[in-house]
Amino acid sequence: MIDSTSAPAILARDLLYAWPGKAPVIDIEQFSVARGERVLLRGPSGSGKSTLLGLLGGVLTPARGEVSLLGAEISALSASARDRFRGEHLGFIFQMFNLIPYLSVLENVILPADFSPARTVHVGGNLQAEGRRLLAALGLGVSDLLSRPVTELSIGQQQRVAAARALLGNPEIIVADEPTSSLDHDAREDFLQLLMSECRTQGSTLLFVSHDTSLGHLFDRVVSLGDLNRAGRASAHPGQAA
Amino acid sequence: MNTLLLALRSLRNRLTTAMLTIGVIAISVTLLLGVEKMRTAAREGFADTVSGVDLIVGARSGQLNLLLYAVFRVGDATANVSWQSYQKIARHPDVEWTIPISLGDSHRGFRVVGTTGQYFEHYRFAGERKLVFAAGRPFTELYDAVIGADVAQQLGYKADSKIIIAHGLGNVSFAQHEDKPFTVVGVLERTGTPIDRTVHVGLQAITAIHIDWQSGIQAPPGGRVSAEEARARDLTPESITAFMVGMRSKVMTFTMQRAINEYRPEPLLAIIPGVALTQLWNLVGIADTALMIVAAFVVLAGLLGMLTAILTSLNERRREMAILRSVGARPRHVFTLLVAEAGMLASAGVAAGVAICYGLIFATRPLLERRFGIFLDPSGLTGYDLAILGTVIVSALLIGVVPAWRAYRNTLSDGLTIRV
């Protein structure tokens, strides 16, 4: 199913999406991210970011066009096959509140293993050990942190736990949706450096969505969603994309 | 960690709400199970009012009427059974024993039953239980009386207490058999049956106290017969109110019943107590069915409380669902999560309810037996109990489909968008 050699990590072609009864919020001719590439997708809130991520994550189906990840056309798959694909090949980091409040730090990190056998297999031996390794790589090596309720962590720490979870089991694509917007400037750089280096180690593709242009220098490429999305330009209804 | 464990952890995170929900379900299940246990105990206790008696024979009236006055001491006989007919049936070769019963008098609201020593020997209740004397012995002398537990307790009688029997059944009777006082010689253990409210005397004593009475009035002083004079008279009664029959072989019961019902010289009626008791229970048992329905509605209220609690939690948990979706959870996982939650709350509630119910049974059993003669069965859950409890859990799972469906729909529309 997955062309592991040449196909781009992310390919969107002729993509059109509209919420029922509304004008289109996404209208993209072509957008692609190569394997291992780290791309900053820049766009103000309301430019259709969430909708685009929904389409790439396979929770939304486009009205027209194609979304292919790793060579598999997920927009043509059934809903449950898309769910499985997402669980196996994508890692998500959100803006905030990434963690399940009633699970421990470590349990949050190894959560994807419950829903994706492929990622469990990829981890190989000990899930917990791999979780600890990732947390340590992201600067959360302190052992007493692991047993604490996640609600007691600082936002910066929570985002690192979320990053560790996204990276667990080595998914090919990491999608980060404004993960640094609630961090201060130093923490932002720190977080990004650690995320980047871990992506590099694992060979993951990173699609990083942010309105913050100051981070551009850290990425291979910066794409403006405003330029990409014809719907965003043409329509006067930015609110619909939120 | 599988979905069920996830549901458990999620519940633990909302411990207060979860415990309250479990508590409400537990109380409702306690009520439901308690009503069912009491109902069974009452029904069995009722059916056990008299046992070991194959036939009850009285003047021809209705089956229930005969049962009511012969066993429950309620209502009056319309006619009597002649002594000749009684003797003829009692001597029948298939009849092992008979207990004659003569009613019509009372003592301070408690009925007086004239009978023989056979009564204490053959009467059974609650299966194989025999009448046991808490104090004293059966009557032997003409003016001896044996009283039930309630009579002794309410009137404060002990062995050797003197009592005066009143003519007729009124609570306050002006016609007293005061010239022939009785001595209490025995007090029976509590039975939980109408025997507790009965004063027993010998059949001859009934004849003796009425020897100088005619049409409900005692003869004027000149024609009276003293207690001592009465001893010398022939005290064989002319008639009795009813009698109980024990057959040599149970197989002959129906034949004997038919024979008595077709007895030519006198219109008689023979009933099988078990059949009549069941018929009577069908009449009075409606109340406990009503109670059961009320209890079922309380359980429904408990489950609706659970539904409210889960539905209320859904909005604040949309983020949780979106996170689960982002790591690959399918909508059916979300659905399972919520149905499992309902199932766990209900199961915990049912378990707690059963525990509380049995705790109460063990705590109140001595009191119930002593005060009300209700013998609760403390043994395990019956198949019927389990079916009831299973129904509660299945209902909870079905009710859990409502929030699960809501969450499923939310999940589809929210996608990965985390709404704050």
Domain boundaries, chain A: 36-59+84-236
Q: What is the dihedral of CA B79, B85, B86, B87, to 10 degrees?
A: 160
**What mean pLDDT is reported for chain B?**
86
> Taking CB atoms and an 8 Å cut-off, how many pairs form between chains A and B?
77
The answer to whether A89 and A119 are in contact (CB under 8 A) is no
DSSP classification of residue B202: E
Q: Under CATH, which architecture does the A36-59+84-236 domain have?
A: 3-Layer(aba) Sandwich (3.40)
C-alpha pair distances (Å), A183 with each of A96, A131, A155, A187, B85: 10, 23, 7, 6, 106
Q: What is the pLDDT of residues B88-119, one digit of tens each?
A: 999 999 999 999 999 988 888 899 999 998 89
Q: Indicate yes or no: CB of B331 within 8 angstroms of CB of A83.
A: yes
- ipTM of the prediction: 0.82
The partner residue sitting opposite B416, judged by closest CB among A53, A79, A101, is A53
Structure tokens at B267: 């219109």
Neighbour tally for A84: CB within 10 Å: 19
Q: Indicate yes or no: CB of A80 within 8 angstroms of CB of B12.
A: no
Mean pLDDT of B234-250: 91
pLDDT at position B22 over 90: yes
For residues B318-345, one letter each, b for 16 or more C-beta atoms within 10 angstroms of the residue's C-beta and e for the rest, the string is bbbbbbbbbbbbbbebbbbbbbbbbbbb
- The pLDDT value recorded for residue A180 is 81
B416 lies within 8 A of chain A by CB: yes
Structure tokens at B8: 């458990």
The partner residue sitting opposite B417, judged by closest CB among A50, A86, A98, is A50
B15 lies within 8 A of chain A by CB: no
The answer to whether B152 and B158 are in contact (CB under 8 A) is yes
The answer to whether A160 and A183 are in contact (CB under 8 A) is no
For residues A180-214, one letter each, b for 16 or more C-beta atoms within 10 angstroms of the residue's C-beta and e for the rest, the string is beebeeebbebbbebbeebbeebebbbbbbbeeee
- Residue ranges of the domains in chain B? 3-46+287-414, 55-271
DSSP classification of residue A149: B
Q: Which residues of B touch A87 (CB under 8 A)?
A: 327-329
Distance CA B26, CA B23 (A): 5
pTM, full prediction: 0.72
Neighbour tally for A47: CB within 10 Å: 26
The answer to whether A116 and B327 are in contact (CB under 8 A) is yes
Mean pLDDT of B78-86: 91
Distance CA A5, CA B209 (A): 117
- The pLDDT value recorded for residue A238 is 46
Find, among B35, B415, B136, the residue nearest to A50 by Cα. B415
Distance CA B334, CA A85 (A): 17
Q: What is the pLDDT of residues B143-172, one digit of tens each?
A: 999 999 999 999 999 888 898 888 877 655
Contacts of residue B234, defined as CB under 8 A and 6 or more positions apart, other chains included, come to none
Nearest residue of A to residue B330 by CA position? A83
pLDDT tens digits in sequence order for chain A, 242 residues long: 454 567 888 888 888 888 777 888 888 888 889 888 999 988 877 777 878 888 888 888 888 888 888 888 888 888 888 888 888 888 888 887 788 888 888 888 888 888 888 788 877 778 888 888 888 888 777 767 777 788 888 888 888 888 888 888 888 899 888 888 777 777 788 888 888 888 888 889 999 888 877 888 888 898 888 888 877 555 444 444 43
Q: How far is CA B151 from the centre of its chain?
A: 20
- The pLDDT value recorded for residue A235 is 46
Q: Which residues of A touch B3 (CB under 8 A)?
A: 114
Q: pLDDT > 90: what percent of chain B? A: 32
Strands annotated E in B124-260: 124-125, 129-130, 133-136, 144-147, 162-163, 166-167, 182-188, 198-202, 213-214, 217-218, 239-240, 242-247
Q: Indicate yes or no: CB of A101 within 8 angstroms of CB of B320.
A: yes
Residue A97, phi then psi, degrees to nearest 5:
50, 55
The answer to whether A39 and B406 are in contact (CB under 8 A) is no
C-alpha pair distances (Å), B239 with each of A64, B208, B276, B386: 103, 13, 24, 52
DSSP classification of residue A150: G
Handedness of CA A180, A183, A185, A191 (dihedral sign): negative
